Amino acid sequence: MFQLKRHPANPILLPRPDSPWQALNVFNPAVVFHRGLFHMLYRAQGLDYVSRIGYAVSEDGVRFSRLEDPVFWPEAPKEARGVEDPRVVFLEGRFYMTYTGYSAQGIQPFLAESETLLRWRRLGEALPEMGNKNHVLFPERFGHRYAMLHRRPPAIWVAFSSDLKTWEDDTLLLPPRPHLWDSVRVGAAGPPLLTPKGWLLLYHGVDHGNVYRLGVALLDREDPRRVLHRPEGFILQPEEVWEIRGDVPNVVFSCANVVVGEEVYVYYGGADRVIGLATAPLAALLRYAEEG
């Protein structure tokens, strides 16, 4: 079984008790590698349990320096209880962030854009469905259309749009698999990675014990609705104390997988409390996706 390798500096980002908005939990970050730096947008909670998004930057992908104040916070009524689980892609000269808005009505997928990663412009609802989340854009268009993965519970779907407003051709992509580690529900991790073999997708799966693990699938280069390979095994599961015990136990949950050189950096939340990093050679991970 192929497994990601945890970084020895883990966990790489911890809550800050001296900062009210991130005193309790920091987790589930988006990360992009841009102009030689790792840029992290991470979900944080203070004692009010409202999720805000902070920014941190790193030269090596391990030691991050963060801003004192959040760069994104709840503004709209459907975000009143938090903005959660950002995923970021760089597409056609700008950054797009998909995130989940949480309110008394439930959860709903939203979209924002930025030229700087520090100031964001809201684009509104990504899909007009309550209960939908884990949505992330592909980092390029297919023809003239954008493509977005999302979770219509309990499965991963893919939809297309020419304007990021109206979505069509919604197609079931990855359902849960009975009797395996992803038997209850699944959701996309970070943005799909383009490789010579197709789109490499990392995703999380949940079993009946509510344990979150990470796995991979390989999608067709030209038509991401076609699943080429989906290994039965997982590539990361909760094992460390800080992954097993936290605000939500037994969770490794990723919103970011970044390729730098020949290495894949997978950033993930551990038990909804801290941020960890695990890595793998891209060639080895791709080989496992094809053969596993």
Average pLDDT over residues 35-54: 98
pLDDT at 172 over 80: yes
Percentage of residues in the chain having pLDDT higher than 70: 100
Model pLDDT, residue 183: 98
Contact 124, 99 (CB under 8 A): no
Kindly tell me the sign of the dihedral angle through the C-alpha atoms of 224, 225, 226, 227. positive
What amino acid is encoded at 204 in this protein? Answer: H
CB count within 10 Å of CB 227 equals 16
- List, as one string, the DSSP characters of 100-158: EEEETTEEEEEEEEESSSSS-EEEEESSS-TT-EEEEE-SS-BTTBEEEEEEETTEEEE
Model pLDDT, residue 130: 82
User: Alpha-carbon distance 219 to 142, whole Å?
Assistant: 13
Query: pLDDT of 61-101, one tens digit each?
Result: 999 999 999 999 999 999 999 999 999 999 999 999 999 99
Model pLDDT, residue 128: 82
Confidence band, pLDDT 50/70/90 cuts, at residue 160: very high
Contacts of 45 (CB under 8 A, 6+ apart): 21, 22, 24, 25, 26, 51, 52, 82
What's phi and psi for 132, nearest 5 deg?
Answer: -90, 140
User: Alpha-carbon distance 243 to 48, whole Å?
Assistant: 23
- Closest Cα to residue 79, out of 114, 115, 120? 120
Query: pLDDT of 13-34, one tens digit each?
Result: 999 999 999 999 999 999 999 9
pLDDT at 179 over 90: yes
Q: How far is CA 221 from the centre of its chain?
A: 21
Q: Return mean pLDDT, the chain.
A: 97
Residue 276, token pair as written in the block: 């960890």
What's phi and psi for 154, nearest 5 deg?
Answer: -105, 15
In angstroms, what CA-CA distances link 143 with 86, 126, 147, 200?
26, 20, 10, 19
Query: pLDDT of 226-255, one tens digit each?
Result: 999 999 999 999 999 999 999 999 999 999
- Superfamily name with CATH number, domain 5-291: Glycosyl hydrolase domain; family 43 (2.115.10.20)
Model pLDDT, residue 38: 98
Q: How far is CA 180 from the centre of its chain?
A: 22
Model pLDDT, residue 149: 98
| Residue 29, SS3 per DSSP | strand
Query: pLDDT of 276-285, one tens digit each?
Result: 999 999 999 9
| Residue ranges with strand state E in 46-118 | 51-58, 65-66, 82-91, 94-103, 106-114
Contact 130, 106 (CB under 8 A): yes
Stated pTM of the model: 0.98
Model pLDDT, residue 1: 82
Place of tokens 């920091």: 26
pLDDT at 292 over 80: no
pLDDT at 56 over 80: yes
* Domains in the chain: boundaries: 5-291
Confidence band, pLDDT 50/70/90 cuts, at residue 117: very high
Model pLDDT, residue 174: 98
